[in-house]
Amino acid sequence: MTSLLRPKLSGGNSNRRSALPSREALYWIAPACAVIIFIFGYSIVNLITQSLRYDGDWVGFENFSIVISDPLFLVALRHNLFLLSAVPILVLIAFILAITLFETRRGMRFYRSAVFLPYILPIPVVAVIFGQIYQLNGVLNTFLSSIGLDFLIQDWLGDPDIALGTMGSVIIWKEVGFGVILMLAHLISLPTETYEAAKLDGAGFWRTHFVITRPAIKTTLIFYAVIESITMVSWVFNYVYVMSNGLGGPGNATMVSELYIYRMAFQNNAPELAAAASVFLFAITLILLVAFFKIQRRSISKTFRS
């Protein structure tokens, strides 16, 4: 089924088409580019100028030094880092589920849909459901005490030491299905000879998949890890906002950088500081992306180009 979107011919390079005039391309590209330049270009330029000003006056890097010495911003960043550290766990769970599903025939469609369902649920909905589940006298604790595991009962969302971990578990719960689907679709598209050879050699389940499958779907694993890393750094607002009623609590236990920026701009009325924090966040995202591809010794363009 993946063949649907793959090149039907190995072709597609542009040299053959060089006879066509290049100006015509502009008419096709211009409308989309106008929207993109207007929104992204305007925002990024405006954000940077705003981060260097206060009340319209040029203040150099003062906003940045204020933000970087704000303990709350550092706490927020540390929380994003903590969530980032969950990415390997997320990739591993998704990988194990994908290969398990791949080896399964009977009921595969049911299990696949079940695992994928959390991914299509709206985040506010997820946050509200888990809010009920994780409450002190909520569904999880009721369940634990009914099966005699009272010692495991925690104030999942109220205890500052574990609230962020609880939040992380909700994000994993929701995001894992996306990885499973990505990996599964890639697995199905692999030539079967690879596995048959391994099976003939008598390789077992884990050996087959960690030695053969893992490298074979490496691009998908990297793609998923990159997407999820970016999610953990800059897309967790929805979870935190809904589950902590917009406060990042208990205390500041679930404060993250997006919520910090949001509150700086719209509650503390300090858009300049929020702009400086946004520039930091943007820079971190870019560094993360570049670092990731450096580690993988792959260029960004190579992964994203067909």
**Which positions from 223 through 252 interact with other proteins, judged by CB under 8 A?**
223-224, 230, 233-235, 237-238, 241-242, 245
Q: Which is nearer to other proteins, 82 or 223 (CB)?
A: 223
Binding to other proteins by residue 297, rule CB under 8 A?
no
Binding to other proteins by residue 267, rule CB under 8 A?
no
Binding to other proteins by residue 52, rule CB under 8 A?
no
Q: Which is nearer to other proteins, 45 or 161 (CB)?
A: 45
Per CB under 8 A, which of residues 133..162 are in contact with other proteins?
A: 133, 138-139, 142-143
Per CB under 8 A, which of residues 86..105 are in contact with other proteins?
A: 96-97, 100-101, 103-105
- Figure out which of the listed residues 59, 72, 74, 289 binds other proteins, where binding follows CB under 8 A: 289
SS3 category, 247: coil
CA distances 223 to 117, 162, 179, 264, Å, are 21, 29, 9, 32
H-type alpha helices, the chain: 23-36, 42-51, 62-68, 71-84, 87-102, 108-120, 123-134, 139-146, 163-189, 193-200, 205-207, 214-216, 218-234, 237-243, 257-266, 271-295, 300-304
Please give the single-letter amino acid code of residue 128: V
**Residue 58, beta-bridge partner list:** 53
Q: Which is nearer to other proteins, 65 or 197 (CB)?
A: 197
Of 113, 101, 109, give the one whose Cα is nearest residue 187: 101
We find the least distance from the C-beta atom of residue 213 to other proteins, in angstroms, to be 14
- Figure out which of the listed residues 54, 82, 111, 293 binds other proteins, where binding follows CB under 8 A: 111
Binding to other proteins by residue 110, rule CB under 8 A?
yes
**Residue 53, beta-bridge partner list:** 58
- Figure out which of the listed residues 69, 147, 192, 269 binds other proteins, where binding follows CB under 8 A: 192
Maximal CA-CA distance, the chain: 76
- What's the CA gap between 32 and 39, in Å, rounded? 11
- What's the CA gap between 82 and 255, in Å, rounded? 12
Per CB under 8 A, which of residues 56..75 are in contact with other proteins?
A: none
Q: Which is nearer to other proteins, 76 or 161 (CB)?
A: 76
- Figure out which of the listed residues 66, 118, 153, 162 binds other proteins, where binding follows CB under 8 A: 118
Among all chains, which residue has been given the structure tokens 């766990």?
89
- Figure out which of the listed residues 83, 91, 123, 171 binds other proteins, where binding follows CB under 8 A: 123
Binding to other proteins by residue 2, rule CB under 8 A?
yes
Binding to other proteins by residue 27, rule CB under 8 A?
yes
